[in-house]
Structure 1
Amino acid sequence: MKAISYSRYGGPEVLEYGERPDPKVGPDDVLVKVRAAAVNPVDWKAQAGHLDGMIDAVFPVIPGWDVSGVVVQPGVSVTEFTVGDEVMGYVREDFLSRGTFAEYVAAPVRTLARKPRTVGFEESAALPLAGLTAYQVLHQALAVREGDTVLVHAAAGGVGAMAVQLARHLGCRVIGAVREEGRERVEELGAEPVVYDEHTFVEQIRALAPEGVDAAFDTIGGPFLKQTADVLAPEGRLASIADGEVIALGGRYFWVRPNAEDLAALARLVDEGVLSVRVARTFPLEQAADAQRANREGGLQGKVVVTVTWPD
């Protein structure tokens, strides 16, 4: 099969496009014919070696954890899917090796759900990691409930936009922190924008929520994390996916995990019109290095997706 891979840690320059062996399909795996795979910051961070103390890399590594495609072979113990099912997944395993930037991926069945019926493969590929992160942080780490005031960082970005929509669906008031160019997008999603400015950030939030916010979802870390802790209500909850210093501030450091039931719930919300997925740019598989560069540059209001073209 054709795939993108790297044989050493590094930046986009270490990515190579070429032939790789077809993946073996274990008893609990599902062989998926890939139609699209989304790019996430964790992809290039892992590729740079930043996760080396946590996850082994079995070189050559095919990057990518998000995918959508069509089932071509269920493993012998798999009863959840049959040939021809259209699926999506957050295909994260306990090692780096067989990722989704390829024509085929053998995905553990626990990482997959049926894709939403109402959107295409590109949007479906953009949903799993970002959607699961937002869903699990709101439900598990922050336990938000109707009537809460929730602060969401990078609210026009991939995870942030999902969190805004999900929190609104849960009956929360949402304050969305963005750069100036993201203000309109956040308002479209139903949140009240505040603009990143180290000198006025706390003041902007207190003007909207004088008694503090009930829950805060940090996606960027750094100096704004401490300022976020300063605007919590007395019993406010804080969670971060970006900065372990949140623990010292009394919050929770959270890592998303594959969960088929949560993924199916997200698909239902998309089909019900509650949750929208925005794709900012697409690249063919052979241009995955350019897709990665676009994701690293940031500033996009939507996901970057790599596509695989198949003959009709």
Structure 2
Amino acid sequence: MSIDIPTGLRTAHVSLTGTGTAEEHLVPGESRRPEAGKGQVVVRVEAAGVSFAEVQMLQHLHPFPPRFPFVPGYDLVGRVAEVGPGVTGHRVGDRVAAMPRHGAWQEYVAVPATQLADVPEALDAAVAVSLVTNGVTAYQMLHRATAPQAGQTVLVHGASGGVGTLLTQLAVHRGLRVIGTASPAKHATVRALGAEPLDYRTPDLAAAVRELAPDGVTCVFDHIGGRGLDAGWAMLARGGTLVSYDSSVAGYRPGQWFRPHVPALQRTGRRWIARKLGLTGGRRQSMYYVKPGENFRTDLAALYRLLDEGVLEPKIAARHPLADARLAVRALLDGSTVGKHVLIP
């Protein structure tokens, strides 16, 4: 079953053709519209997210990257345009979200039906997609990877970013005191979210956090990795948790696809052993990544309810036409905006 779309219709997309700059290797083009195979649906994309995953892929610094050329795009919101054999529970016209990890930057994309989540009809597509990867990441780190209690203090790195703004709002709603790192130009935004801002470039950030929270913080949410994980570890209170959910690729040569993530793996392993030996004062470090499945669907639905209740106000940095993906990536790298950049096919 499908929407009335002519067979062989061409569909616009943006391809990532190699390692280098966005201007060189993010190339708009066309291809034949995909067809739904067994267990798949074809989704007509309404909005696709832009994230640092695409930046890492562009520089060939993302773990387990697809082979060039490929269509990037970590997450999307759209409508089911075709249902393949064996698919139940989804019909043409259903509004859905998906997190294919790549392939979202095109008008039509084939997605396994098991990866779909429902999206409210009235919700703006850009707002809806801002909660798919970023929102579920924030929600699961706060509700599944950790369990801070009301009145405790947490540190959110990048509190003005796509994940950080949502994580801060969720933590404040939970009754937590939030310290959020950001550049000074974004401190007003961080305060407006209900957090206490700190400049992420502070020479001794751990000491600055300890001035605000002398006994340490219950959780640190870190998207930078590397040596910053040592500073985060020093900020923790007894029994606290450091969650590493990404790694900065700054300073790495293009093509060193796994190296930015090695420091987090090494530190997580060493601290796991130390904790088992009773040497960490109950502190622990974990690594988190978002993945599709039942928890993803459940948690995204919870986020949409919180949005409807007015608890969340997703920050949309800009909406870009699909053909302007290069400009969207450049804006993300510039770092002057707040929130999520979104492509509209």
- SS of the residue 1:61 aligns to: coil
Given the alignment of the two structures, is residue 6 of structure 1 paired with residue 10 of structure 2, yes or no?
Answer: no
- SS of the residue 1:136 aligns to: helix
User: Is 1:116–1:271's contact at 8 Å kept on the other side of the alignment?
Assistant: no
Structure 2 Cα separation of the partners of residues 304 and 187 of structure 1: 22
The residue type equivalent to 1:160 in the other structure is G
Structure 2 Cα separation of the partners of residues 156 and 188 of structure 1: 10
Equivalent position of 1:20 in the other structure: 31
Correspondence 1:166-177 to 2 at 5 A: 166-177=170-181
Structure 2 Cα separation of the partners of residues 202 and 47 of structure 1: 32
User: Is 1:116–1:268's contact at 8 Å kept on the other side of the alignment?
Assistant: no
The residue type equivalent to 1:251 in the other structure is Q
Given the alignment of the two structures, is residue 302 of structure 1 paired with residue 339 of structure 2, yes or no?
Answer: yes
Equivalent position of 1:286 in the other structure: 323
Structure 2 Cα separation of the partners of residues 20 and 225 of structure 1: 43
Equivalent position of 1:78 in the other structure: 87
The residue type equivalent to 2:35 in the other structure is K
Equivalent position of 1:199 in the other structure: 203
Distance apart, 1:17 and its partner CA: 1.2
Given the alignment of the two structures, is residue 41 of structure 1 paired with residue 78 of structure 2, yes or no?
Answer: no
Equivalent position of 2:69 in the other structure: 60
Structure 1 Cα separation of the partners of residues 17 and 58 of structure 2: 10
The counterpart of 1:253, out of the listed 267, 284, 287, is: 287
Equivalent position of 2:251 in the other structure: none
User: Is 1:246–1:253's contact at 8 Å kept on the other side of the alignment?
Assistant: no
Equivalent position of 1:217 in the other structure: 221
Query: How has the CA–CA distance of structure 1 residues 272 and 110 changed in structure 2, closer, same or farther, with 3 Å as cutoff?
Result: farther
Structure 2 Cα separation of the partners of residues 263 and 78 of structure 1: 21
The residue type equivalent to 1:293 in the other structure is R
- SS of the residue 1:27 aligns to: coil
* Deviant stretches of 4+, over 6 Å: none
Structure 1 Cα separation of the partners of residues 188 and 267 of structure 2: 29
Equivalent position of 2:261 in the other structure: none
The residue type equivalent to 1:78 in the other structure is V
* Structure 2 unpaired stretches of 5+: 1-10, 248-263, 272-283
Structure 2 Cα separation of the partners of residues 91 and 246 of structure 1: 29
Query: How has the CA–CA distance of structure 1 residues 56 and 280 changed in structure 2, closer, same or farther, with 3 Å as cutoff?
Result: closer
The residue type equivalent to 1:18 in the other structure is G
More strand as a share of residues: 1
Query: How has the CA–CA distance of structure 1 residues 117 and 195 changed in structure 2, closer, same or farther, with 3 Å as cutoff?
Result: farther
**CA deviation string 1:224-275 (max 9, x = no partner):** 3322211110111101113415414541122221222222222222122222
**CA deviation string 1:14-45 (max 9, x = no partner):** 12111112123123222111111110000121
User: Is 1:160–1:219's contact at 8 Å kept on the other side of the alignment?
Assistant: no
Per the normalisation by structure 2, the TM-score is 0.81
Greater radius of gyration (CA): 2
What's the C-alpha RMSD, in Å, of the aligned pairs?
2.0
Query: How has the CA–CA distance of structure 1 residues 270 and 89 changed in structure 2, closer, same or farther, with 3 Å as cutoff?
Result: farther
Given the alignment of the two structures, is residue 162 of structure 1 paired with residue 166 of structure 2, yes or no?
Answer: yes
The residue type equivalent to 1:70 in the other structure is R
- SS of the residue 2:70 aligns to: strand
The counterpart of 2:188, out of the listed 184, 188, 211, is: 184
Distance apart, 1:117 and its partner CA: 4.8
Given the alignment of the two structures, is residue 236 of structure 1 paired with residue 240 of structure 2, yes or no?
Answer: yes
Aligned residue pairs, count: 301
The residue type equivalent to 1:256 in the other structure is V
The residue type equivalent to 1:20 in the other structure is S
User: Is 2:136–2:300's contact at 8 Å kept on the other side of the alignment?
Assistant: yes
Given the alignment of the two structures, is residue 151 of structure 1 paired with residue 155 of structure 2, yes or no?
Answer: yes
Structure 1 Cα separation of the partners of residues 153 and 121 of structure 2: 32
Structure 2 Cα separation of the partners of residues 173 and 75 of structure 1: 48
